[in-house]
Amino acid sequence: MSEQIGLLGGSFDPPHLGHLFVAYTAFEELGLTSVRLIPTYRQPLKQGRPVTSAEHRVAMCRLLAAEDPRLAVDPLEVERGGLSYTIDTVRAYRAARPSAELVLLLGEDAAATLPQWREPHAIAAEARLVVVSRGEPGPAIPGSIQVESLASRRIDISSTEIRARVGAGLPIRGFVPGSIAEYIGRHGLYRTT
Ligand code: ATP
Ligand code: MG
């Protein structure tokens, strides 16, 4: 059987337990043996907000990956620089592993923006698109892009909320692994004062 590789892209500013549960769902429901966390360098659709340096985001992804031996970090988008387009990443994986099955894992909020991505149909031609929906089947993706929907445990955690909690001086244990909470504290990330 050909190798199956799960790809989970994101800003990971910071990575959190919701991301870990997406990977668990992929392992348990799709039988994947590995999932790569792929931090974006610059997210074309999120250009308004200042993003934490790629160095910190990659380091925190490595801490999340240390939680499970089937998880790994691939910094290829950071190394490529510029705007991070998923089609470029999928093509790089395809070129390096011609016979692998690529499974692009998407949360519902990411999936909803698919029609605005560069060459979404080309992405769908190279990779299986799996939307990890939180409980009930997610909304249809506009624009006739073929996706599968995978029901998952609902984990109501986002990086946005974690940044806001740190900014407000609230604890984030239970949202991120202890190693990441410690990293955020040590480097003073997301502090507003
Ligand atoms: P932000 O709030 O900054 O947008 P985020 O928590 O959505 O951050 P991202 O780095 O944007 O995290 O997400 C990477 C991928 O993980 C996206 O496909 C997103 O939909 C998915 N994702 C993030 N949080 C969850 C969650 N709690 N459950 C399921 N999928 C999630
Ligand atoms: Mg998001």
Residue 192 lies in a domain: no
Domain count, the chain: 1
Q: Which ligand places an atom closest to the C-alpha of 190?
A: 1
- Convert the pLDDT of each residue in 103-152 to its tens digit: 999 999 999 999 999 999 999 999 999 999 865 655 666 667 889 999 88
Q: Which two tokens stand for residue 6?
A: 């799960």
Rounded to an integer, what distance in angstroms lies between the CA atom of residue 187 and that of residue 56?
Answer: 9
38 CA → ligand 2 middle, Å:
13
For atom 25 of ligand 1, the residue with the nearest CA is 18
Residue 118 belongs to what domain range? 4-186
Residue 181 lies in a domain: yes
1 CA → ligand 1 middle, Å:
30
- Convert the pLDDT of each residue in 3-30 to its tens digit: 999 999 999 999 999 999 999 999 999 9
60-86: b or e for each residue (b if 16 or more CB lie within 10 Å)?
Answer: bbbbbbeeeeebebbbbbbeeeeebbb
Residue 182 lies in a domain: yes
**Mean pLDDT across 50-66:** 97
Question: What local confidence, expressed as pLDDT, does residue 105 receive?
Answer: 98
Looking up residue 141, the CATH number of its domain turns out to be 3.40.50.620
Rounded to an integer, what distance in angstroms lies between the CA atom of residue 72 and that of residue 99?
Answer: 20
Q: What is the pTM of this model?
A: 0.95
Rounded to an integer, what distance in angstroms lies between the CA atom of residue 184 and that of residue 17?
Answer: 15
109 CA → ligand 2 middle, Å:
6
Q: What is the DSSP string of 107-121?
A: EHHHHHTGGGSSSHH
Atom of ligand 1 nearest to the CA of 105: 18
Q: How confident is the model at residue 36 (pLDDT cuts 50, 70, 90)?
A: very high
Residue 71 lies in a domain: yes
Residue 44 lies in a domain: yes
Q: Which ligand places an atom closest to the C-alpha of 64?
A: 1
- Convert the pLDDT of each residue in 140-168 to its tens digit: 666 678 899 998 888 899 999 999 999 99
Instruction: Indicate the top mutation candidate among 7, 8, 11, 21 to test ligand 1's pocket, ranked by most ligand atoms within 8 A of CB.
Output: 11
Atom of ligand 1 nearest to the CA of 12: 10
Q: Which two tokens stand for residue 121?
A: 């149909």
159 CA → ligand 1 middle, Å:
7
Question: What local confidence, expressed as pLDDT, does residue 122 receive?
Answer: 96
Residue 115 lies in a domain: yes
Residue 193 lies in a domain: no
Considering the chain, what is the average pLDDT of its residues? 93
Q: Which two tokens stand for residue 40?
A: 């974006």
37 CA → ligand 1 middle, Å:
12
